[in-house]
């Protein structure tokens, strides 16, 4: 499992940021994850980045603290520091470094799903978080990835769903998402999965970004815009709960709003990765009723070049010890091994992960 590679992720962030935006924005897409640059499903979280420290000060991935060249270093790309992927990735990297023999790991911030696919396809990361819609587009070379299909991406496992949280500002005289026409709307950060999800919601209402004034930005920016009455609505594609939605409701007069049944049916019917979901009443302070929406799966993915035994060990350690991670972040409690392929479509599992799921009797 020997791997000697200089950690080049930080130096390429600036150089590839423009590339990621161009790649993601061919159709106005916003990068995954959610506030990561959208941040991808992301929730604010104060975490110590123990995983980053594991990389070592000299940036040589193949060496552990003892100078052991047999240590395999796994670079994990996440989202912005306000995104949910960020604390999850930091916790996982630290967990793998401590639990998996022969493996060290570090997590790095990014703009979320789209940029994670770019980093991984360019060999700048081994493992990453990605929303299901972005994963499908990257693998098939669609939308912002047209002509640049990432055919070597492999699934380690589906982890938890991202819910579309559409928040309308109370006092803006909006009763439905359909009323956003001609209004100011925050669809997510440019190049993020949230932006793409926002496009898909609006499309179900026969609307586009051209029908409104759009204000692109990450979750904190969207919250500030709503608080300052500069936007009338926003979409936050994230797990439950996410702090951006909590803040919009508690400090910016936001109202969590359902997607109408007809539009939910249209989205589920058109996109394989969407499922109909409910944000239960009480998920957020002041939310007295269930909110009906669509959700898509988040995935932990690896490049096909990741050795099979390493992939197997990462997956085995995650699922066999998932309860140990519950205390690191409440979202880990939503990880269910039975959902490892939900929303995956025709995207293949990594052979190492496939071996684990076969042993557990989870594959047909």
- Predicted confidence at residue 70, as pLDDT, reads 54
- Predicted confidence at residue 37, as pLDDT, reads 34
- Predicted confidence at residue 364, as pLDDT, reads 75
Which contiguous run of DSSP H or E holds residue 140?
A: helix 132-140
Chain centroid to Cα 106, Å, comes to: 17
Domains of the chain, start order: 9-160+298-359 (3.40.190.10), 162-296 (3.40.190.10)
Judge whether 46 and 84 are in contact, CB under 8 Å: no
Distance (Å, rounded) from C-alpha 197 to C-alpha 107?
Answer: 25
Which residue stretches of the chain have pLDDT < 50? Answer: 1-69
pLDDT digit string, tens, across residues 129-169: 998 988 999 999 998 899 999 999 999 999 999 999 999 99
- Predicted confidence at residue 272, as pLDDT, reads 80
- Predicted confidence at residue 241, as pLDDT, reads 83
Mean pLDDT of the chain: 83
Determine whether 338 is exposed, middle or buried from the number of CB atoms within 10 Å of its CB (0-12, 13-18, 19+).
Answer: exposed
Q: What is the CA radius of gyration of the chain?
A: 20
- Predicted confidence at residue 211, as pLDDT, reads 98
Residue 2 phi, psi dihedral angles, 5° rounding: -80, 135
Place of tokens 């990432």: 150
Distance (Å, rounded) from C-alpha 142 to C-alpha 149?
Answer: 7
pLDDT digit string, tens, across residues 55-103: 333 333 443 444 344 589 999 999 888 778 999 999 999 999 999 999 9
- CA-wise closest residue to 111 among 34, 196, 225, 23: 34
What global pTM score does this model have? 0.71
């Amino acid at each position: 499992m020997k791997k000697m590679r200089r950690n080049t992720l930080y130096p390429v962030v600036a150089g590839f940021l423009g590339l990621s935006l161009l790649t993601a924005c061919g159709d106005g897409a916003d990068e995954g994850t959610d506030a990561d640059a959208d941040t991808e499903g992301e929730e604010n979280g104060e975490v110590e980045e123990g995983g980053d420290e594991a990389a070592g000060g000299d940036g040589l991935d193949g060496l552990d603290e003892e100078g052991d060249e047999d240590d395999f270093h796994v670079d994990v790309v996440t989202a912005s520091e306000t995104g949910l992927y960020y604390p999850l990735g930091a916790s996982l990297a630290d967990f793998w470094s401590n639990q998996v023999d022969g493996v060290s790991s570090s997590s790095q911030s990014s703009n979320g799903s789209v940029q994670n696919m770019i980093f991984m396809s360019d060999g700048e990361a081994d493992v990453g978080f990605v929303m299901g819609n972005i994963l499908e587009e990257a693998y098939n070379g669609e939308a912002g990835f047209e002509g640049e299909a990432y055919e070597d991406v492999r699934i380690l496992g589906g982890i938890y769903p991202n819910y579309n949280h559409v928040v309308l500002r109370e006092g803006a005289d909006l009763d439905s998402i359909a009323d956003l026409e001609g209004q100011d709307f925050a669809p997510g950060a440019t190049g993020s999965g949230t932006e793409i999800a926002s496009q898909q919601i609006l499309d179900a209402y026969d609307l586009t970004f051209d029908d409104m004034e759009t204000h692109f930005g990450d979750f904190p920016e969207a919250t500030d815009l709503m608080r300052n009455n500069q936007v009338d609505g926003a979409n936050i594609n994230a797990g439950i709960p996410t702090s951006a939605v909590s803040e919009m409701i508690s400090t910016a007069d936001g109202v969590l709003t359902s997607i109408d049944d007809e539009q939910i049916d249209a989205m589920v019917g058109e996109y394989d990765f969407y499922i109909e979901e409910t944000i239960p009443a009480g998920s957020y302070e002041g939310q007295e009723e269930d909110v009906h929406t669509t959700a898509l799966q988040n995935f932990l993915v690896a490049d096909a070049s990741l050795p099979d035994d390493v992939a197997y060990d990462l997956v085995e350690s995650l699922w066999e010890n998932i309860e140990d991670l519950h205390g690191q972040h409440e979202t880990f409690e939503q990880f269910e091994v039975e959902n490892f392929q939900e929303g995956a479509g025709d995207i293949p599992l990594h052979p190492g992960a496939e071996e684990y799921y076969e042993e557990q009797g989870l594959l047909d």
